[in-house]
């Protein structure tokens, strides 16, 4: 268990869910992960639901303003901590990305922007003020990994290396390869090419949550009305993971690390 007080710039720090059924999604995720939920008012009849473990925030959700469609389906959005949301968004534009939401203040808790990388994946930039991001990592029910599923890992790696000062390196994995990205000595995230097993997906950042039992989490997902998109699968020397979908359609992953497992290939 690690209590977080700060995040280094260029590292993932937070994630929230945009969903057309906040009440149903809240019921699903509290049932799956045992999260505590707190609805915080953010406007007339609008709430930002904070999820917590041991009294520390680990993720959130909100009600989508419009009915989801192909352009804005239910989704988990990952956030990267940055020194300046505005300048980083501008740099993303210069590098061939697109700024979907220019930098704006989120009450007094931080400042954010939303960008799309050149391969099409969307990610948020978070300039922290009162809210640094997840207050707890390293135990079941907390985010533990972010993986870019993309048509062009090499091009994406070059983009994020320049934008966030990552160093990205490809390693063999089975019959394909996996790209690990670092920010200094710390792992920042991973990248892989879209595989036929992914189905008809567009490039996206896939959010992983740590769990105690991958099979139990997959079974629990189905009992709560969700779907198992990829059944529990072993990753040599790392652990066992599954790709799941909540009842509203948002996709995420869970992973049970081996006792000595690590996401670091070194």
Residue 264: predicted pLDDT? 61
Phi, psi of 24 (to 5 degrees): -65, -40
Place of tokens 């070059």: 158
Assign domain 140-257 to its CATH superfamily.
2,3-Dihydroxybiphenyl 1,2-Dioxygenase, domain 1 (3.10.180.10)
The pTM of the full predicted model, rounded to 2 decimals, is: 0.94
Parse the chain into domains and list their residue ranges. 2-128, 140-257
Residue 160: predicted pLDDT? 98
Residue 68: predicted pLDDT? 54
- Looking at residue 87, the DSSP 8-state letter turns out to be H
Residue 1: predicted pLDDT? 61
List, in sequence order, every beta strand (DSSP E) within 107-250.
Answer: 110-116, 122-128, 136-137, 143-150, 167-173, 176-183, 186-193, 204-210, 227-235, 239-245
- CATH of span 2-128: 3.10.180.10
What is the distance between the alpha carbons of residues 113 and 103, in angstroms, rounded to a whole number?
Answer: 4
What is the distance between the alpha carbons of residues 52 and 36, in angstroms, rounded to a whole number?
Answer: 5
> Which tokens sit at 146?
């972010």
Consecutive sets of 10 residues in the chain, 266 residues long: mean pLDDT of each? 90 97 97 97 89 96 75 90 98 98 96 98 98 93 96 96 96 84 93 87 96 98 97 89 97 89 58
* 255 closest CA partner among 198, 218, 216, 209: 209
Residue 43: predicted pLDDT? 80
Residue 40: predicted pLDDT? 93
């Amino acid at each position: 268990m690690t209590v977080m007080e700060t995040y280094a710039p260029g590292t993932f720090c937070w994630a929230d869910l945009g969903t057309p059924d906040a009440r149903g999604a809240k019921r699903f995720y509290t049932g799956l992960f045992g999260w505590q939920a707190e609805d915080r008012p953010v406007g007339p009849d609008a709430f930002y639901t904070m999820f917590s473990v041991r009294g520390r925030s680990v993720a959130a959700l909100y009600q989508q303003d419009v009915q989801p469609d192909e352009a804005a389906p239910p989704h988990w959005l990952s956030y990267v901590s940055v020194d300046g949301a505005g300048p980083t968004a501008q740099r993303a534009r210069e590098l061939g990305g697109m700024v979907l939401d220019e930098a704006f203040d989120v009450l007094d808790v931080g400042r954010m922007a939303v960008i799309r990388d050149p391969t099409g994946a969307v990610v948020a930039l978070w300039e922290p003020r009162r809210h640094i991001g997840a207050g707890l990592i390293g135990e079941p029910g907390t985010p533990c990994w972010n993986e870019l599923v993309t048509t062009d890992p090499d091009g994406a790696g070059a983009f994020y290396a320049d934008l966030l000062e990552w160093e990205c390196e490809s390693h063999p994995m089975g019959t394909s390869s996996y790209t690990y990205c670092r920010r200094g000595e710390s792992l920042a995230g991973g990248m892989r090419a879209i595989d036929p097993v992914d189905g008809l997906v567009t490039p996206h950042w896939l959010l992983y949550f740590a769990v105690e039992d991958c099979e139990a989490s997959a079974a629990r997902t189905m009992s709560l009305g969700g779907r198992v998109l990829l059944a529990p699968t072993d990753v040599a020397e790392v652990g066992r993971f599954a790709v799941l979908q909540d009842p509203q359609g948002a996709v995420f992953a869970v992973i049970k690390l081996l006792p000595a497992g690590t996401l670091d290939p070194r």
